[in-house]
Structures are given as structure tokens and as C-alpha cells.
Chains A and B, each alone.
Chain A
Amino acid sequence: MEELRKVLNEAKNRLIESFGLEPDVLLPDIRYRVIEEIVSTSIIREKVELTLTDVIDDAILNKYLGIPVFLSLAWMMFQFTFSVAAPIVDAVDMFFSWIGEIIGEYISNSFLASFLADGIVGGLGTILVFVPNIFFLFLALSALEDSGYLARVAFIFDRLMRKFRLSGRSIIPHLIGFGCNVPGVMATRTIAGENERILTAITNPLISCSARLPVYVLFAGVFFPDNSPTIIFSLYMLGIVLAFLISFVVGRFFLKGKPSPLIMELPEYSMPETRTLLMHMWERGIMFVKKAGTVILAGVIAIWALSNLPLGVKSVEESYLGILGHIMEPLFKPFGWDWRIAVSIVFGFVAKEIVVGALGMIYGVEEEALEHVISQTMTPLSAYAFMTFVLIYVPCVATLAAIKGELGWKWAIFSAIYEVILAYLVALMIMVIGGVMLS
């Protein structure tokens, strides 16, 4: 085996010396040259043609314009997700408020009424209110994918990503991570280089999945009403920047080696079909609703139980949940979060959506009233630090299980630990630097 490796390395070095290219790049290059030769001898054209795709790519893949175009389209996507979906979000919210009123009116048993109104409507309802945002996000992502643009993002970012010890191919799992980090981590199997695969998988949880969106929409809407989509956009971008930085640090000190070159065929641009777009949106969005009916419902019931135990407690503060919150409170004092906010993040470990549901239940209010209550307990700066913490801290159980499945226990534990530390440090930096700048 050792001898074979030696022979292979010698052959590889000879190829690099002769052609000046890595074998990974050289082989497809030669293949395409042969194809071009065959085509040029068998097809006679009167004129040289440039397709619509060639013309648009000249601008979209330009080294100066490529990344600004991506950032601009990403901002427009969040405008669409937040502002255009707003009436449907409000309509769903009104529906849950009406259900809450009916429960209060018709159910006399206080224990059952509390379970249904605070547990199910207050917890699950608070999360389901954001389902339209998630559907709209998937609709926009599907439009970018079906038009052929999303595949080009890998190419646009390749040059930049190589500086951070990743390859352009790593962007695909990261883009999938915008929907959910679990398939994002699993998609790293397509990456050939072992080091890039590890770096992409362990940084994928830093990419904001749709589960974080309810937290962002709630807090950005309350504390930054004039710039909510831009604030949400900044969080998504912060996640990408941190993923690059962590890749660089881990790659530089723990996983040495050069990233493999990117070779991919870009599809032609095409006009997305409405039916296909709606189908993609439904397939991806309905997964969130199903999750709400299983994992999130279980989590919400667990929180409701913790907030009502031991039996006979008069307020949430006296319950197990309150006790846990008060234990955690000193740790988060520098961020200006009280025990309620501190304890809500514990449940994000099960699924990040539960953070909003937990807040609804702890404060004992529904979405609209929740907005009012949290606006009284936090400042815009501490709210931004909270959103950042939710973005970065420990990935949900399912993502950790996916990392364990792909890379083993060692990297799963490493991910969990580094993300908690990073979340705390970044939130602290936001409070300190933001505090200095605002003062």
C-alpha cells in the first residue's frame, strides 16, 4: 500500500511538472479538449454562437460583481420572506388569538384550559405563526435554484472559500443548510477532500436554518421595525462569515492540507415554472409543519410541564423552569437577559423553533402580547446579542446526530463545545462594542 502511494505521488508530481495543473483539473480539461475537437470536426457552423446563458454569466460571474449581486439577491430574498409574507403571518396570528379566546370562554377546567391555552396555543401557536415566513423563504430559494443561479453561487464563492481552506463545493451543503442543517451536514458526502468535508460539516450549523427564522422575525420585528429584513440578512451573513473564520482556524491548526479544485458543469439559465416552484416550496415547508406536530409539540408539552411543576406552584418563577432560569441568569447578566430569556435558550437544543414557543409559555402570552412584553425587558442591543446567540450556540439534537453519523463522536462533541463558546464570545463582543459605539 505504501509503495503504491509512493508510485501514485510520483506520477502525480510528474503530471504537475509537465502540464502545470493538478490531476483533478487536468483530467476533465483533457476530456473537454477531446470533446471540442470531435465537435469541431463533425459540426460545421457558419457563425460562432453565444447563448443567453453565456451573455448573462459574463456579468453575473464577474469577479467584482459576482459577490455583490449575490448579496443583493439575498437581501431581496429576505425582504420577500419578511415583508411580503407579513399579512399571512398576521392572519394566522389572529386565528390563534381567536382560538385562545374560545378556550378561555368555553373550558371551565382550569388545568385543561391552561394546558390548551398556554401549552398548545401559547407554545405551538407562537411557532406556527411563522410558518408563512418559512414557506416564502423556500419559495424564494426554489426560484433561485430553478433559474440556475444557485449553482453559480458555488463558482462565485470558490476563490474566496479557498482562502478559508474550503472549496466552492462546500457552498452547496451550506446553501442546503439555509433550509435545514441536517441535510446540509449529510450533503458534505459529495465533497471529495476529507479535510474540506470535515470543515464543511462542523461549520454547517453556523448557517442559519429555517428553525432560527421565527426567533429572528419576532425579535427583529419588535426591536428593529424599520430595518427588520436587513437585520435578518445581517444575521445570515454573520453565520456565513463565522463559518468561514472557523474553517480557517480549524483548517490552519488542526487539519492541514490544500483544498481540492472545483470542477462543475453549470446549468443553462431558465425561467422557473410556477407549478414546480410551488411544489418545491410545499415539499420543504411541510417538513417544518410535520416537525411542529411531533418534536416541537413534545418539547412544548415538556416546557409546559416544567413550568407547572411541582404541583401547586403559583407562578412560573416558582416552578422547575423558574429555578433553572434563576441558576442560569448570572451567566447571561452581561447581555441584559433576565431568567426568562436565559431559560428559553435551553430548549433550543431540542429544536431552535422551541425558543419562541418557550418564551410565549414562560411569559404566559400569545405572539402579539409577547412582542409587547419582550420590548419591555430588553434593549435593541441585547436583542441583537440574543439573536446572534441563537444563531451560533449548540446545534439542535438532530444536527448533532447527523455530524456524529458523518464524522463520529469526536467532531460532534467538538461542534457542540466550540459553538457554545463562540456564541457566548460573539454575544459579549456585540454588547461591549455596540455599547461603546452607541454611547
Chain B
Amino acid sequence: MKRALILYSILLSLIFIFYGSMDLLCGIVRWFMPARALPDLVQTSLSFDLGRGRVPAITLDPGMGLSLLVIGFSLLYGGLGSLKGKLKGGESFFLAGSILALILLVLQVLILFANGVETYALRIEDFSGWTPLEDLNEGLVLGLLAIPTLSSSAKRLRSLRKTGYQKD
């Protein structure tokens, strides 16, 4: 694997871990403290104002937080191991993290599509005023940022499936 890509993945993994920790901690706190102050503070600190909405839309969902943390730590551990040229305890974690990131990305795209159907095709009242920007959440944005990692992992997966790993 290219060194630049590994370094990029390590940097990305830290962002995954940061957003994951925020989602998990603030999400749990929010269950017991219904006040808006905390979510609002996190929203404004962790997302960018694009005029018509903020991106990424922070979900503050503990489940999302857990998933981001799992992906982040897999990529981080895998990236550090890959720098040392390890397959087991290195590239294997990188591959597992990439697969999970891909599943999360596909899921978020499906949810975006489902909400689009609710709004524009079924015209459900709860979705009035919904814009696709609302679903550009941390899972989807970080998933998109992980595309270079995903494509490198996909190539590696294909080669491993064909020949397996050959070790001297």
C-alpha cells in the first residue's frame, strides 16, 4: 500500500474517532438532559454553515457514535500496522474498517434516498421542508472522505480473493 494513502487513512481515522466520541458522549448525555444547549453547541462547533444548512448534520446518535469509533479505531490500528508492513494486525484491520465504512456509507445513501421518496413522492407531512442537506450527516460525509481508502481496499480484496496472501 502507498505510504501517502496510509497516512491519509490515519488522519481520517482520527476524525472518525473525534466525531464518534462526540456523538456517543453527547448522544447519551442528551437522553438524560433534554436541554438544547449541548446539541446546539456541538452542532455549531463541529459543522460548517453552508447558508441553507449545516454540513455535516450532526446526529448525536450514540449508535452512529459507536459505528464511527469502531471504524476509526480499525483504520487507525490498521494504518499504524500497515506502516510497519504487517498483514495480520495491520492491513487486516484496515480492510475490516474499510468494509464497515462502506456499509455505513451505503446505508446513509439509502436513508437519504428513502427520505427523498417520503418528501417528493409520498409528500408525507413530517417531511415538509426537508432538504437533502439535512441527511448529509457525519456518517455520509466521512464515508465519502474514505472513498480513496475504500477503493484501495477494494483492489486489495479482489487480489486476496483471487490468489490469497502469499508469504515466503
Residues of A within 8 A of B (CB): 47-52, 54-60, 62, 65, 68-69, 71-73, 75-76, 78-80, 83-87, 90-91, 94, 226-227, 229-230, 233, 437-438
Minimum CB–CB distance from B155 to chain A (whole Å) comes to 13
Residues from chain B with a CB closer than 8 A to the CB of A72 are 63, 66-67, 70-71, 100
Q: Are B63 and A90 in contact (CB under 8 A)?
A: no
How far apart are the CA atoms of A352 and B31 in the complex, in Å?
28
Give A69 to B78 CA distance when docked, in angstroms. Answer: 15
Query: Is B4 part of the binding interface, using a Cβ–Cβ cutoff of 8 Å?
Result: no
Cα distance A52–B103 when bound, in Å?
18
Give 12 A-B contacts (CB < 8 Å), ordered by A residue: A47-B167, A48-B167, A50-B164, A55-B91, A56-B96, A58-B93, A65-B70, A69-B70, A78-B63, A79-B107, A84-B111, A233-B63
Asked if A58 meets B70 with Cβ closer than 8 Å, knowing A47-B167, A80-B107, the reply is no
Residues of A with C-beta under 8 A to B91: 55
Residue numbers of B with Cβ under 8 A of A are 27, 31-32, 34, 61-64, 66-67, 69-71, 73-74, 78, 87-89, 91-93, 95-97, 99-100, 103-104, 107, 110-111, 114-115, 117-118, 121-122, 124, 157, 160-161, 164-168
Known contacts: A50-B167, A79-B107, A227-B61. The answer to whether A90 contacts B118 by CB under 8 A is yes
Given contacts A49-B165, A55-B160, A437-B32, contact A75 B92 (CB under 8 A): no
Residues of B with C-beta under 8 A to A90:
118, 122, 124
Contacts of A49 in B (CB 8 A): 164-167
With CB as the reference atom, state the residue of chain B lying closest to A57: B92
Q: Is B165 in contact with A55, judged by CB distance below 8 angstroms?
A: yes
Inter-subunit contact A75/B66 (CB<8 Å): yes
Q: From residue A437, how far is it (CB to closest CB) to chain B in Å?
A: 5
Q: Of B89, B100, B118, which contacts A69 at CB under 8 A? A: B100
Beta-carbon contact of B164 and A51 below 8 Å: yes
Contact B92 A79 (CB under 8 A): no
Query: Least Cβ distance of A83 to chain B in Å?
Result: 5
Residue contact B74 to A65, C-beta cutoff 8 Å: yes
Cβ contacts under 8 Å, A56 to chain B: 92, 95-96, 99
Residues in B whose Cβ lies below 8 Å from that of A54: 165
Q: For the complex, give the distance between the alpha carbons of A55 and B73 in Å.
A: 17
The reply to whether A438 and B32 form a contact with Cβ atoms under 8 Å apart is yes
* Residues of the B chain whose Cβ atoms lie less than 8 Å from the Cβ of A62: 93
Residue of A nearest to B109 (CB): A84
A87 touches B165 (CB 8 A): no
Least CB distance, B125 to chain A, in whole angstroms: 9
* One of B73, B110, B160 near A52 (C-beta < 8 A): B160
* B63:A79 contact, CB within 8 angstroms: yes
Q: Which chain B residue shows the least CB distance to A60?
A: B96
Question: Residues of A contacting B96 with CB < 8 Å?
Answer: 56, 59-60, 65, 69
Partner of B114, one of A47, A65, A83, A233: A83
CB-based contact A59/B92 at 8 Å:
yes
Inter-subunit contact A55/B95 (CB<8 Å):
yes
* Residues of chain A with a CB closer than 8 A to B160's CB: 51-52, 55
Evaluate contact between A68 and B70: CB separation under 8 angstroms: yes
Closest 9 CB pairs of A and B: A59-B96, A75-B63, A50-B165, A58-B92, A87-B117, A52-B160, A49-B164, A230-B63, A72-B67
For residue A55, which residue of chain B has the nearest CB?
B92
A87, B110: Cβ atoms closer than 8 Å = no
Decide if B103 touches A76 in the complex (CB within 8 Å): yes
CA distance A48 to B164 in the complex (A): 10
Chain A residues whose CB sits within 8 angstroms of the CB of B70 once the complex forms = 65, 68-69, 71-72
List residues of chain A with CB within 8 A of the CB of B111. Answer: 79, 83-84
Q: Are B87 and A52 in contact (CB under 8 A)?
A: no
CB distance from B87 to the nearest CB of A (A): 7
- A55-B165, A438-B32 as given contacts; A68 in contact with B122, CB under 8 Å: no
The CA-CA distance from A148 to B139 in the complex, in Å, is 25
Interchain CA distance A65-B99 in the complex, whole Å: 14
Q: A52-B160, A79-B107, A86-B118 are in contact. Are A59 and B168 (CB under 8 A)?
A: no
Question: Who on chain B is nearest to A70 by CB?
Answer: B70
* B107 pairs with A68, CB closer than 8 A: no
Known: A50-B167, A59-B78, A76-B103. A87 touches B118 (CB 8 A): yes
Residues of A near B121 (CB, < 8 A) are 87
Query: Closest residue to A48 on the B side, CB-wise?
Result: B167
Known: A48-B167, A52-B157. A86 touches B114 (CB 8 A): yes
Name the one of B66, B104, B157 contacting A68, with C-beta atoms under 8 angstroms: B66
Bound Cα distance A182, B22 (Å): 41
List the B residue with the shortest CB-CB distance to A49: B164
B contact residues around A91 at 8 Å (CB):
122
- CA distance in complex: A227, B62 (Å): 9
Q: Which residues of B contact A438 (CB under 8 A)?
A: 32, 34
